[in-house]
Chains A and B, each alone.
Chain A
Amino acid sequence: MIRIQNLFKRYHQQKLSDWVLRDINIEIPTNVSVGLIGKNGAGKSTLLRLIGGMDMPDRGVIETDSRISWPIGLGGGFQYAMTGRQNVKFVARIHGCEKSLDEVVQQVEQFAEIGDYFDEPLRTYSSGMRARLAFGLSLAFDFDVYLSDEATAVGDRAFREKASKAFKEKVGKSSLIIVSHSEGILKDLCEAGVWLNEGQAQWYGDINDAIADYHAQTNLMLP
């Protein structure tokens, strides 16, 4: 269960920006996968980072009794000068996992299927290869909630299949919170939805309703 109460967030750059998130109140029940939708800049990734504990809200609280992953995305979390194997070992070490280090490395290597690139520095990877590694890495740990920020978007077809299959196997044990513009993925993996609009969050018990409302507002129907 993740309970978000009266959450406000804005960024402090050179000058104070307007509120990105304004008074968000949602409760995500245990084992319910949620899709976050909204236009670019609506605050989807910000909300995901807040849930993942990477960033702090200006006001309000996020309460949880679940083990939440880091936001699995395209950019963050990897050292570009290090090889895939070294990055995996690093993450395994900071999570102090009960599995052995070799077990984690082996599992990620098998899932990612990037061959010899596993021992090459991350900077030589394509974005698809990075996504494969990031996904494989997060799956090696038993989280209750996985946060995914468009991580599946750049994978090829085979990999998308594999990723959704891996998550479907975890249904009942863990859930997902996904930011994505690919509605196929959202409908496939999520039950509930949250539509972020003008800094406000609207909860939908059915992801299809969320997508329908989002479309109605943007008047942009995607196939």
Chain B
Amino acid sequence: MSSESSLKKQSRSSWQITKSVWWALLIREALSRTMSDRLGWFWLFAQPVLIVIVMVSIRTVVLGRMRTISGAEFVPWLIIGLLGFQLFRETMMRSMGAVEANRQLFSYRQVMCIDPVFVRCYVEGLLATFVLLIFVFVTLLFDFSLVPHDSVMALYSWFSLWFLGVGGGLVISVSATLLPETKKIVPVLMMPLLLLSGVIFPINYLPPVYQEYFLLNPIVHGLELFRGYTFEAYQPLKEVSFYYLWLWSLSLVTLGLMLHIRFQHRLKVL
């Protein structure tokens, strides 16, 4: 009986093992995120919502508001930018600690270092999408709408931004584990990145000479496309393209996978 069952287990394919590891890690991640403090599940959604509300209030009440930005209301424009940026940032930043937080679980040889990174990216993408839906439904009650005019392409832009975060997360999860300095530097870079990505100040208003440099940042492409497919009248920068965005994403993902393969043993033991 025991030899029979062990034979059966030995024949589990790599893919079956990976699937069961992802499932187990997903449940673990869900539990740790919701149980970490009181009303954990509530804060999971409330925190990103509050961040957006605070940012919007500061920008509109304190600094005064621009009415429209070439074809879009300012507040929806800002909300969409913030949500898109948060999707990218959270996916990447949560991946940073993924290897360290699951170190104990590498005792089981079924668990590879890359597994918790994938699972965290998935969870972050899911959470951010729920937050987006919350905003879409709640803003229906107000006088403006976040319902995209081209839902399919808007979702595709949303997915592209997430995938860029996955690429960044894969790379950064290795570098943060091998070079602990990464964990100090990357969060510092996130604030300027928010400004450089045109989340708060529209890049359209800059002279074209400078726009060229801002357009090197793939997040700008993702956000502009996302806004373009959400607001019908909005005119995104002409130069933005999915091609450039995906070139970055795929390069980062490839680099991240290569780093994970190259350093998998060192990551596990460290």
B14 within 8 A of A: no
B57 within 8 A of A: no
Using CB atoms, name the residue of chain A closest to B10. Answer: A67
Is B6 a contact of A90 with CB atoms below 8 Å? no
Interchain CB contact (< 8 A) of B27 among A52, A93, A144? A93
Is A54 a contact of B107 with CB atoms below 8 Å? yes
Docked complex Cα distance between A12 and B2 (Å)? 39
Given A67-B9, A86-B28, A96-B12, A77 and B17 contact (CB-CB distance below 8 Å): no
Interface residue ranges of A140-189 to B (CB < 8 Å): 142-144, 173-174
Is B104 a contact of A76 with CB atoms below 8 Å? yes
Interface residue ranges of B71-118 to A (CB < 8 Å): 102, 104-111
Docked complex Cα distance between A86 and B2 (Å)? 26
A79 within 8 A of B: yes
Is B20 a contact of A54 with CB atoms below 8 Å? no
A95 within 8 A of B: yes
Chain A residues with Cβ below 8 Å from B3 are 173
Given A70-B109, A77-B104, A98-B5, A90 and B269 contact (CB-CB distance below 8 Å): no
Docked complex Cα distance between A76 and B106 (Å)? 8
Interface residue ranges of A116-136 to B (CB < 8 Å): none
Q: What's the A-B contact tally at a CB cutoff of 8 Å?
A: 81
Docked complex Cα distance between A146 and B102 (Å)? 23
Chain B residues with Cβ below 8 Å from A90 are 24, 27-28, 105
A56 within 8 A of B: yes
Is A93 a contact of B23 with CB atoms below 8 Å? yes
Chain A nearest CB from B23 CB (Å) reads 6
Chain A residues with Cβ below 8 Å from B23 are 93
Is A12 a contact of B6 with CB atoms below 8 Å? no
Size category, B interface: 20 to 34
Using CB atoms, name the residue of chain B closest to A13. Answer: B270
Chain B residues with Cβ below 8 Å from A82 are 28, 31-32
Given A94-B24, A98-B9, A54 and B109 contact (CB-CB distance below 8 Å): yes
B265 within 8 A of A: yes
B194 within 8 A of A: no
Chain B residues with Cβ below 8 Å from A86 are 28, 31
Docked complex Cα distance between A86 and B27 (Å)? 9
Chain B residues with Cβ below 8 Å from A55 are 265, 268-269
Chain B residues with Cβ below 8 Å from A97 are 9
Chain B residues with Cβ below 8 Å from A96 are 9, 12, 16-17, 20
Chain A residues with Cβ below 8 Å from B184 are none
Is B28 a contact of A142 with CB atoms below 8 Å? no
Is A76 a contact of B107 with CB atoms below 8 Å? yes
Using CB atoms, name the residue of chain B closest to A57. Answer: B265
Is A77 a contact of B265 with CB atoms below 8 Å? no
Task: Write out, one digit per residue, whether chain A residues 96-109 have a CB within 8 A of any chain B CB (1) or not (0).
Answer: 11100000000000
A41 within 8 A of B: no
Is A98 a contact of B109 with CB atoms below 8 Å? no
Interchain CB contact (< 8 A) of B268 among A54, A70, A91, A94? A54
Chain B nearest CB from A31 CB (Å) reads 12
Chain A nearest CB from B22 CB (Å) reads 9
Given A67-B6, A82-B28, A142-B2, A94 and B16 contact (CB-CB distance below 8 Å): no
Contacts from A to B (Cβ < 8 Å)? 11-12, 52-56, 67, 70-71, 75-82, 86, 89-91, 93-98, 142-144, 173-174
- Pull 17 A–B residue pairs with CB atoms less than 8 Å apart, ordered by A: A52-B109, A54-B107, A70-B107, A77-B104, A79-B105, A80-B104, A82-B28, A86-B28, A90-B24, A93-B20, A93-B23, A93-B27, A94-B111, A95-B20, A98-B5, A98-B8, A142-B6
Contacts from B to A (Cβ < 8 Å)? 2-3, 5-6, 8-10, 12, 16-17, 20-21, 23-24, 27-28, 31-32, 35-36, 102, 104-111, 265-266, 268-269
